[in-house]
Structure 1
Amino acid sequence: MKKLLPLSLLAFSTLIYADMSTQEFLYKDPRIMGMGGANVAIGGYSTAIFSNPAGLIKIKKSHGIEAEVLGLTISGSEKIKQFSDDLSNSSDSEIINTVGKYSGDAFNATISNYTSFSYHAQNDTAYSFGLLASADMNFIPHENSGANGILESHSRVYGGIFLASAKKYKGISPDILDGVLSGDLTIGVTVKYVKQKSYEAGLDVGEVTEHKDDIVKYLQDTYEVDNSGFAFDVGTLYEFDNKTWNPALGLSVMNIGSLDFDAYGAQPLSVNLGASLSPEISWSNSLKFAVDYVDLFNSQQARIRNYNPYRSQDQYDNADIGYDVMNHLRLGTSLGLLDNSWFMATLNAGLYKGAYTAGIDMQLALIKLELATYQEQLGSTLGQLEDRRYVVGLGIGW
């Protein structure tokens, strides 16, 4: 049973309840997830394009060309290694008992790399080019081999190319609003191409036992589905003329195009709102507060397995997730402890889908280290199936 679920398999397969596989993201920056996932009105990183491309305008001009090379991010559930080791060490006769031990628990493993080059020009225009490669993995064991088998796979390995630009227009408000609501408006646009291979399967005991030595190849040969598409995102950021609190409002419309394909990993069009405050204080180089309300019209979807015992392969369909305000709410705060040419450290905290988040970002010269934790909600209702995840980001940047 040594090859049932080796760690290398985690780069290719995802196993989870069919009606509990959310798919609302392409990339989760640990810096942002540490502060509750709130970034619609914050920005400042190249990864702003995954929430609001207008946020690119907050990349510091003094940094010149900002590069993030080999930005490797690894995330996993709390007990994922223990579960993997137990399965790997189980004999054929012990598989059902091992699965039963973890039945009802949710697990995740994600490996991503986002490499980007960004530039904030002196004419208040920002540009960014990025390459994404990722494997998204979620799994849950079933004690009884029913409609979902003992291991159900909703997997994807995907990549994409991203081109983005943001332009700031200063002093656009009417004269009557000067000194009250006057400020600067930034408009941002992202164009992206995403290609993925997805693997959806409810593996029963016989399949797992027969293909335990070549399960990756079996998933690829039997269940692989190719999808690709172009899309663009549009976002705005309004920064008020208040140098004490530096308030800002953000709005983004994401995934306008052909990423809403009928497979795990679909990216439906979504509308997101955000607000932030960045007060000037003497004892910190950076303090930020943010609140987002994402996917305003609840377009995000889950994958539903329509089990049919008379078909050789079941049909999976996208289905809307029930509307729950807390699933859409993001709250975050960020406190910069130190930021100079050699070392940077920032503490993050927040609330994501009703559960706490925390994180720390550090950079020593060119080496970046990011740590974060957040809790994903995988059930059809809040609290039905919770998965606490831990994220490590390591990269080279300047």
Structure 2
Amino acid sequence: MFKRGSVLLSATLCTFLLMNSARADESISTTIHHQYQSPRALGMGDAFVAVADDYTAIFYNPAGLARLENGQVNLSMSFAGTPGAKDFYDEYKAIEDNAALSDSAKQQAYIDLITAHFGDVYSIRTTPMEGVWVRPKWGVALIPMDLTVELQMHRSVPAAIDTKVYADTTLALSYGDDFNWFSNGRFSMGITAKFINRGFLSKKLQAIDLANSDQIVRKEDLAEGYTIDGDIGMLWTPEIPGTGFWSWMQLVRPTFGAVVRNVAETGFNNSLKLVNKDQTTENLHPEKNYRVYDLGTRWEYPRAWIFGGRGVLDIRDLGHPDFNWRRGVHAGLEFDWFVYNWWKGHYRVGMSQGYWTAGLSAELGIFNLDVVSYADDVGSRNTAVESRVYATRLNLDF
């Protein structure tokens, strides 16, 4: 809890402190956290609902599994971070390791550090290992650890760091198939069942908290819980007549998609204590995965020589409490180049949450490299604040 230096505390505040209210310590971050992110999708504005043509269909739109022509095994590791995050940590560590500082001097040094970075936002997201196996119509994915840490320097009194942490372990099973419900085109549906164990922290960390601990975030501070939920997705590619006014659409082959994520919205109300074995406060639960609705469309370019590609437009996170149209609109372009089955790649550009994105992929045999730059909107619903992120993923693709 916050510690006040003044001796003129009101009776109301004393009562508030004694109640140990968790709300006062909560971070005020309104960033929309996506339980899974693909560098390929992020490069094209994170608009992928109507594409979903690779192993990431499990998490973006399971209906895409019905349209896979070949199996795929993908093993990967990824890292994403904001510029300056390491420099900030180095400054923090220099204070922490300075044995000559008294407790009060160390606390003042942390206040000065936070004050010097007012308005800055630092984040990292890392997945040390991810494994996905898909075949036509079905797939399975295991992500042992997906860690996200966001630190936002906040102008509160006293100065504090709005801190948010997600530590997820995910097991997902998916199935998709075609349904002849519409004679006009191809209609596919899919479902992904997900087990997610989450460690979670949402807290304002003051200088005194940093001075009293040798880590910015300790696993003992994490609330933990697990959930079992599911996503339901669909894809529809209409049949285009060969003659008449609409025949030109055969060149772009439009596809439309929709996904309902976290259908049950059950929350993380039970704990296996896999992350925080010492958790004792049973009424503290991680932030739930909200039931949201994603809509998308894809338009293919006519292929020319070794090049092809597509344009995409999504509306994402409809129904999320922090949704607004600035954050919800995602659009992008992807350009393919294909020399051989073992030598190919993609270039991408887009807009996500009002900010530009760009990325590329290069595949040589079973080795695949993805790099991308994108931005999260970490401001309020009424005021946009950009947090630029750079990410890379190393893949073995069989």
Q: When the two structures are superposed, what TM-score results if normalisation uses the length of structure 1?
A: 0.79
* 1:76, distance to aligned residue in structure 2 (A): 0.4
> For the residues of structure 2 that align with 1:283 and 1:383, how far apart are their CA atoms?
45
Residue of structure 2 equivalent to 1:131 = 142
> For the residues of structure 1 that align with 2:130 and 2:339, how far apart are their CA atoms?
23
Contact 1:154 1:264 in 2 (8 A): no
Residue identity in the other structure for 1:156: Y
> For the residues of structure 2 that align with 1:227 and 1:114, how far apart are their CA atoms?
21
Matched ranges for 1:29-178 at <5 A:
29-59=38-68, 61=69, 64-69=70-75, 71-90=76-95, 91=98, 92=106, 93-112=108-127, 113-120=129-136, 126-132=137-143, 133-142=145-154, 145-146=157-158, 150-169=160-179, 172-174=181-183
Residue identity in the other structure for 1:202: K
The change in CA–CA distance for 1:330 and 1:382 in structure 2 (over 3 A counts) is: farther
Contact 2:29 2:162 in 1 (8 A): no
Give aligned pairs, total: 338
The change in CA–CA distance for 1:339 and 1:241 in structure 2 (over 3 A counts) is: farther
1:251 to 217, 240, 258: 258
Which has the higher mean CA deviation after the structures are superposed, 284-293 or 92-101?
Answer: 92-101
Contact 2:179 2:188 in 1 (8 A): yes
Which has the higher mean CA deviation after the structures are superposed, 234-243 or 91-100?
Answer: 91-100
Matched residue SS, 1:379: coil
The change in CA–CA distance for 1:352 and 1:385 in structure 2 (over 3 A counts) is: same
Confirm or deny that 1:357 pairs with 2:369: no
Residue of structure 1 equivalent to 2:202 = 200
Confirm or deny that 1:232 pairs with 2:223: no
Contact 2:189 2:235 in 1 (8 A): yes
* 1:245, distance to aligned residue in structure 2 (A): 1.4
Matched residue SS, 2:44: coil
Contact 1:106 1:385 in 2 (8 A): no
Residue of structure 2 equivalent to 1:220 = 219
> For the residues of structure 1 that align with 2:313 and 2:384, how far apart are their CA atoms?
24
2:291 to 269, 291, 295: 269
Residue identity in the other structure for 1:378: V
Residue of structure 2 equivalent to 1:179 = none
Structure 1: gaps of 5 or more residues: 1-15, 121-125, 175-181, 301-319
Encode CA deviations 1:194-238: one digit per residue, 9 max, x unaligned: 0111123322222211212x555xx333x3211111111111100
Contact 1:75 1:111 in 2 (8 A): yes
Contact 1:17 1:140 in 2 (8 A): no
> For the residues of structure 2 that align with 1:268 and 1:162, how far apart are their CA atoms?
17
Q: When the two structures are superposed, what TM-score results if normalisation uses the length of structure 2?
A: 0.79
The change in CA–CA distance for 1:233 and 1:193 in structure 2 (over 3 A counts) is: same
Contact 2:73 2:132 in 1 (8 A): yes
The change in CA–CA distance for 1:99 and 1:162 in structure 2 (over 3 A counts) is: same
> For the residues of structure 2 that align with 1:94 and 1:205, how far apart are their CA atoms?
8
> For the residues of structure 1 that align with 2:140 and 2:349, how far apart are their CA atoms?
28
Which protein has the larger Cα radius of gyration, Structure 1 or Structure 2? 2
* 1:52, distance to aligned residue in structure 2 (A): 1.5
Matched residue SS, 2:109: helix
Contact 1:35 1:348 in 2 (8 A): yes
* 1:89, distance to aligned residue in structure 2 (A): 2.2
> For the residues of structure 1 that align with 2:349 and 2:67, how far apart are their CA atoms?
20
Confirm or deny that 1:288 pairs with 2:310: yes
Matched residue SS, 2:28: helix
> For the residues of structure 2 that align with 1:215 and 1:380, how far apart are their CA atoms?
24
Identity of counterpart residues, as a percentage? 20
